[in-house]
Chain A
Amino acid sequence: MLIPHPLLGLRDAQEFTYLGDASLLNRPDTGTDADPEAFFAYTHLRDNPAGVHRELWFHEQGDRSWLVVTRNTLTHEILGAELASDVKRGLA
């Protein structure tokens, strides 16, 4: 698989490590009113779709940036990649 890194162009997926569903960017609040249910769901539950999946890849053997890669889990086709920092900023 080749991942279209937004800064470095097409890079071999072997340069990356995989974390999982991009929803891991949305960590629940850790404040005093932290909800254990929300943390359980964040830590353990996944949508696990068959089809288009947004997921976190870390460019460990490269520029050490986190990417949000959009990929089809049925065909392994990669549909796009964004910097996770940009995605996170969009969420805020």
Chain B
Amino acid sequence: MQFNGFRVIWEGLTGHKGWKPLWRDPEPQPEYDIIIVGGGGHGLATAYYLANTFNELKVAVLEKGWLGSGNIGRNTTIIRSNYLLPGNEPFYEFSMKLWEGLEQEFNFNAMVSQRGILNLCHSDGQRDAFRRRGNAMRLAGADAELLDQDAVRAMYPALNIDNARFPIKGGLLQRRAGTARHDGVAWGYARGADRKGVDLIQNCEVTGFRIDAGRIKGVETSRGYIGAKKVGVAVAGSSGRVMAHAGMRLPIESHVLQAFVSEGLKPVIDGVITFGAGHFYVSQSDKGGLVFGGDIDGYNSYAQRGNLPVIEDVAEGGMAILPMLGRARLLRAWGGVMDMSMDGSPIIDKTHIDGLYLNAGWCYGGFKATPASGYAFAHLLSTGRPHETATQMRLDRFARGYPIDEKGAGAQPNLH
């Protein structure tokens, strides 16, 4: 199924009867070389790179619901590589570079828009921290600019620069960051994987792992047993539940994060603005809605919806920094379930069970990582070695005492 201008006109003239599904709906085979559990962004990206880059032939993706039914459809679509630590920043910059070539790579319009992300700072101490972060970004090959107050004012005149509690003193700008069309990313990877022969099997819930003498043999599913030489689990949000089938306890808690979109407005914010001190960030979608969010609710949850006090907190943060927001009406609010890891950083690693691999712990930063997560996980599954940018994202780093703790908050998942 290809899209082009001529096709759109032709279908328009002939009653749209010629459109076909983007991928097959195959029955599960009795055995695969590699099974990916989870047909979300990361699982589909993993399958895509396994088939296209690492030339794996017998690959399947098992999805409990429909493709892209989890957090790939629930995020606020921001892509960026403005991390600090050497365990993270090269990985996210690798992801940013994959984003830049993604649409050419899988020939699908993912609406990647490098409109820039601006992190606001409010004190000399915070500016110093941003300068350090900007330098770390540039050392890893990313771009970063430190803006003073006048530059921020010129960029976003609507910001409340002279807020009494959090006066805006400047900001850290990454111009190559931006947004992408979240569903388009899942669909592009799914179509690309399907074309290379990956079986995308929907409505197929993994209910157990068959493990023999410390080695994975296959998975029990709602559609019967399926054998596999290797199994990769990419079900962030539900990692704890799925890995419990293998008898594993993870350094992860599942928490709910809410997001919001306003009614459509004329263009007013042409990039992404984050107000970390006030738990608020915002961008404007191409349809005109202001897409914004804040912090996690802060308690364990699998509910995919949050509570009103956090909505109030986010709205207060928005009003503090962008008072015009008060005139916009809220269109929708929703929640997604996050794998909150103990240090705020992800896990892409083997497990103690031979042939069972884990991709988890993305906290609320999984969307931007989708291409690199898929690439690095495919690299690990196919070659048995971690990708060079993901060598520190190990499951045993907590036991060894090498967490990747961006915020320096310690083992406290609801603070990351």
Contacts and interface: CB of A to CB of B under 8 A. Distances in A.
A58 B370 CA distance: 37
Contacts of B402: none
A28 B307 CA distance: 34
Nearest to B238: A50
B258 to A, nearest CB: 13
What is the size category of the interface that chain A forms with chain B? 20 to 34
B10 interface: no
Given A18-B299, A73-B301, A48 B307 contact: no
Interface string B301-329: 11100010100000000000000000000
B300 A53 contact: yes
Contacts, number: 69
B249 A41 contact: yes
B89 interface: no
Given A1-B307, A18-B414, A45 B300 contact: no
A45 B240 contact: no
A30 B413 CA distance: 24
A10 to B, nearest CB: 15
B301 A46 contact: no
Given A20-B253, A73-B300, A74-B303, A44 B309 contact: no
Nearest to B310: A14
Dominant secondary structure at the A interface: mixed
A13 interface: yes
What interface size band does chain B fall in?
A: 20 to 34
Interface string B284-309: 00000000000000111111000101
B250 interface: yes
Contacts of A44: 251, 342, 398-399, 411
A43 interface: yes
Interface string B330-365: 000000000000100000000000000000000000
Given A13-B307, A40-B398, A47-B240, A74 B249 contact: no
Interface string A5-43: 000000001100110110000000000000001001101
The winner among A50, A53, A75 for most chain B CB atoms within 10 A is: A50
B392 interface: no
Contact of B250 (A37, A46, A75): A46
A21 B249 CA distance: 13
A50 B413 CA distance: 17
A84 to B, nearest CB: 16
27 contacts: A13-B307, A14-B309, A17-B298, A18-B298, A20-B300, A21-B253, A21-B300, A40-B398, A43-B342, A44-B251, A44-B399, A45-B250, A46-B240, A46-B251, A47-B240, A47-B244, A48-B250, A48-B252, A48-B253, A49-B241, A50-B240, A50-B254, A55-B299, A55-B300, A73-B254, A73-B303, A75-B303
Interface of A: 1, 13-14, 17-18, 20-21, 37, 40-41, 43-50, 53, 55, 71, 73-76
Interface of B: 238, 240-241, 244, 249-254, 298-303, 307, 309, 342, 398-399, 411, 413-414
